[in-house]
Copies of this chain bind each other. A is one copy, B any other.
Amino acid sequence: MLAQLSCTVLSRKELLDHIFKLTLSSSHISRKAKPGNFVHLKVNSDAPLLRRPFSIHSVDRARNRFEILLKVVGKGSAVLSQKSPGETLDLLGPIGNSFSLPPRGREVILVAGGMGIAPLWFLLTRLAGRFSPEDMTVFMGAKSKTELLYADKLKGTQAKLIVATDDGSAGRKGLITEVFLKEIKKRGRDLKKLAVCSCGPHKMLKSMSEIAKSLDLWCQISLETHMACGVGACWGCVVKGNDGTYKRVCVDGPVFDAREVVLE
């Protein structure tokens, strides 16, 4: 499965300020990737030296291509965001485990914070056949309206969409985790019927993990850490399990049961 590939950039689109979508050509990734998998991209410049991990955001098997969403937060992402069509990227992938499919009969809830939508969108497309839209809710959080990704696209999926922004400039005001918590509590339903998948900034996932633990939710979260090798060799990317052992985010994750990890 894991392979080192040279993929051509097919297109590059600026979705929002500092947020880009790159379409890359690869039959291998498009065929093998599962939601939650990521690719480990060589920046191909002198600095930074180390590869950078990015979730696989969508695949198009018919056309042998896949997409990543990329937010510019530092030097590596800045260089990668400037790759133009025709250039090639050296990548390792697909890497990592993937979201387990929620058991049938559950209500599926996806909780995305900012760039967290990247793998969740891929997951959503895979769940679409298995769950009817009325059984799917997407919570989408962002700092403010200008950083809100995919609201329109998500509406198109017919899944229920709940938006929240920190400053209230779009949707409800507040942290998406608070909105999520309020919402599931409000509904008063049997929480055992929920299947939650979440991805977003570390702080948000920490909240999700705490919520999942306190309510004993079926909840998977996809984590982000600094990675060196990306293939399980260096043990640099670990997260603490609640059994006291460390797990590698790159190959034991990036998807973990939110109840089984200890985030600081």
Contact = CB atoms under 8 A, between A and B. Distances in A.
5 contacts: A45-B45, A45-B46, A46-B46, A46-B47, A47-B47
A112 B47 CA distance: 38
Q: How big is chain A's contact interface, by range?
A: under 10
Interface of A: prevailing SS: loop
Contacts of A46: 45-47
Contacts of A47: 46-47
Contacts of A45: 45-46
This chain: copies in complex:
2
A250 to B, nearest CB: 26
Interface in A10-56: 45-47
A48 B170 CA distance: 46
A47 B47 CA distance: 8
A84 to B, nearest CB: 14
Nearest to A49: B46
Nearest to A47: B46
A100 to B, nearest CB: 41
A45 B44 CA distance: 13
A30 B47 CA distance: 35
A42 to B, nearest CB: 15
Nearest to A46: B47
A128 B193 CA distance: 92
Nearest to A45: B46
Nearest to A75: B46
A47 B45 CA distance: 9
A71 B45 CA distance: 22
A46 B47 CA distance: 6
A45 B47 CA distance: 9
- By Cβ-Cβ distance, the 3 closest A-B pairs, closest first, are A46-B47, A46-B46, A47-B47
Interface string A45-69: 1110000000000000000000000
A87 to B, nearest CB: 14
A113 to B, nearest CB: 31
A70 to B, nearest CB: 20
Nearest to A48: B46
A104 to B, nearest CB: 52
A46 B46 CA distance: 7
A251 B74 CA distance: 39
A122 to B, nearest CB: 33
A47 B44 CA distance: 12
A82 to B, nearest CB: 13
A61 to B, nearest CB: 37
